[in-house]
Structure 1
Amino acid sequence: MTNIVIISHSKEIAEGTQALLNQMAGDVNVIVQGGVDGKIGTSYDHIQALINELTDDALCFYDIGSAEMNLDLAIEMYEGDQRIEKVEAPIVEGSFTAAVKLSVGSSIEETLEELNKTFG
């Protein structure tokens, strides 16, 4: 199974996106990290911990600035065996597209191909 990971500066954006994806593609596992200590921001340590705990492959979506930088660093430092892909697509629209593709049985490669075709 392929996870969808949402990294946002805002807890509400991350959880709202998760709620949308759960309603539209409930059989896809959506993991979120939003905000830091109840405020706007991202944390490399939180993102790294999330990435290191993954037990399946993951497509990772992010919003702005330090979310991308911290996600890049967490993926670079990742030493596990899962396939962890950063996706260059809008956080809501991209993760929605990925969740729907995965929910109908598409592979991670097919899902990435669709994302690249749609948002690339």
Structure 2
Amino acid sequence: MTQIVVVSHSHAIAEGTKELLEQMASGVTIVAQGGVDGGIGTSYDHIQSLINELDDDALCFYDIGSAEMNLDLAIEMYEGAQRVVKVDAPIVEGSFTAAVKLSVGASIDDTLDELTQNFG
């Protein structure tokens, strides 16, 4: 099943989003990456490590600035066999929509179509 990756500058936002999604869409694996060394920020190395450890396809959501830049670079450098897609949608609303859609058996492409319809 497709996983959801949440990348935020804030550990609390990443973990809070993960907690929400796990409660609302059981059965979908949610991976959170937020903050750097207990503070605000993102790290290419942390995101790259997370992406390289994925064991299934993934839809990746991010919040602002360097989260997007580091996620883009991590996906570009990814050499694994899984499909890893950055999604341009609000981090909470978009990942929530994706998690619910995936939890009822939708494919990654059907989920991406739903996200495009809802968030452009």
Bucket of the pairwise TM-score, normalised by the shorter protein: over 0.9
Q: Secondary structure at the match of 2:97?
A: helix
Tell me the equivalent position of 2:37: 37
Tell me the equivalent position of 1:92: 92
Which stretches in structure 2 are left out of the alignment for 5+ residues?
Answer: none
May I ask how many residue pairs the two structures share in their alignment? 120
Partners of 1:6 and 1:99 in 2: CA distance: 11
Q: Which amino acid aligns with 1:74?
A: A
Tell me the equivalent position of 2:10: 10
Q: Secondary structure at the match of 1:55?
A: coil
Partners of 1:21 and 1:101 in 2: CA distance: 11
Moved over 4 A (4+): none
Identity %: 77
Residues 66-112 of structure 1: CA deviation (Å, up to 9, x unaligned): 00000000000000000000000000000000000000000000000
Tell me the equivalent position of 2:106: 106
Tell me the equivalent position of 1:59: 59
Q: Secondary structure at the match of 1:106?
A: coil
Partners of 1:26 and 1:103 in 2: CA distance: 7
TM-score normalised over the length of structure 2? 1.00
Alignment RMSD (CA, Å): 0.3
- Please report how far the alpha carbon of residue 50 of structure 1 lies from its aligned counterpart in structure 2 after TM superposition: 0.2
Q: Which amino acid aligns with 2:62?
A: Y
Partners of 2:26 and 2:71 in 1: CA distance: 25
TM-score normalised over the length of structure 1? 1.00
- Please report how far the alpha carbon of residue 26 of structure 1 lies from its aligned counterpart in structure 2 after TM superposition: 1.4
Partners of 2:19 and 2:55 in 1: CA distance: 22
Partners of 2:15 and 2:32 in 1: CA distance: 7
Which stretches in structure 1 are left out of the alignment for 5+ residues?
Answer: none
